[in-house]
Amino acid sequence: MVQAIESRNITEGSSTQTTLKILQTLPTLIILEYDLLPDTNPGANGNFAAIWQNTNNIPFNQKPDATVPIPGASQHGQFEFPVDLTRNNYIVGYAVGPELAAPSQKYGNICSTEFIAMAPKLGQLEENEVAKAEPSSAFFSNLTVGIVTSDLVSVKYEVPINCRPADNKAWLGLFRGDASYNSPPEKAVAISSNDDSGFMTIRNKMIFDKKYTIALFMSGWSETTRIQTRMAATTWFKA
């Protein structure tokens, strides 16, 4: 007999995110590293990074100054971009899938960002001298579990500022056990709002004392099929 659970706040569980970190800042070069979700294959999934001269938000439909593909199957690596930090601010975005077609935002698969502020003092550095990076201004898409009952779980999603998840066909998947890039979730729901953060409810019969994982996918929703390679963040809980 399946045992139902009482309504309660979730205190167990943790989140995993697609993250960016600045490794080195030079007047004309920045080097960053990425850490991805377990089992992802960035080369096969069309992952890329992009950079804009901009304030601390991604201009989602504007052509970036440069892009770099993320090759191979490793979940950890580095990339670099040429910059002029004596004149401009920059924002870097990491995308967990390829560019999207209209009416989605072209760069709507960007889930993580890192802002690098203009620093005129870098112009005083001598050749090959390294400047210490400023405190991180990073953002990583995230999920936070709220309430679970025997019939549903509530969850808060967060994506980059000005990202429009409904237009981009973003969605959430509920898996029993760990999230998967191949096996379908037990329940899938589209994000119906274009707010860059909000609460959603996933209705599903929960089994007592079982682990569940919720995954955020930046795009790929349809009523009949879902693209599971665009996973940006997960959070797990035990019912």
pTM: 0.89
What pLDDT sits at residue 125? 56
55 close to 20: Cβ distance less than 8 angstroms: no
Would 8-15+141-238 and 17-139 be classified into the same CATH topology?
A: yes
**The CATH number fitting domain 8-15+141-238, selected from 2.60.40.10, 2.40.50.140, 3.40.930.10, 1.20.1740.10:** 2.60.40.10
Q: Is the pLDDT of residue 33 over 60?
A: yes
Look up residue 5 and give its two tokens.
Answer: 């659970």
Condensed to tens digits (0 to 9), the pLDDT of residues 201-212 reads: 999 999 988 999
Instruction: Look at residue 226 and tell me whether its pLDDT is greater than 50.
Output: yes
Containing 174, the helix (H) or strand (E) segment is strand 171-176
Measured between alpha carbons, how far is 140 from 175 in angstroms, rounded to an integer?
Answer: 21
- For the chain, which residues make up each domain, given as ranges? 8-15+141-238, 17-139
Counting residues of the chain whose pLDDT is more than 90, the rounded percentage is: 80
Cis status, amide bond into 103, omega within 30 of 0? yes
Contact status, residue 174 vs residue 185, Cβ threshold 8 Å: yes
CATH number, span 17-139: 2.60.40.10
C-beta atoms surrounding 211 within 10 Å: 15
Distance between CA 91 and CA 117 in Å, rounded? Answer: 8
What are the tens digits of pLDDT across the range 110-131? 999 999 998 755 555 556 655 5
Write down the pLDDT at residue 194: 98
* Average pLDDT over every residue of 177-205: 96
- With a cut of 80, say whether residue 108 has pLDDT above it: yes
Closest CA to 142 of 235, 9, 38, 47: 235
**Does 234 or 126 have the greater pLDDT score?**
234
Asked if 96 contacts 46 with a C-beta cutoff of 8 angstroms, the reply is no
Provide the pLDDT confidence category of residue 137 given band limits of 50, 70 and 90: confident
Segment 56-75, tens digit of pLDDT: 999 999 999 999 999 999 99
Which pLDDT does position 235 carry in this prediction? 96
For the segment 77-97, the average pLDDT, to the nearest whole number, is 95
Please report, for the chain, how many H helices and E strands are present, in that order: 1, 17
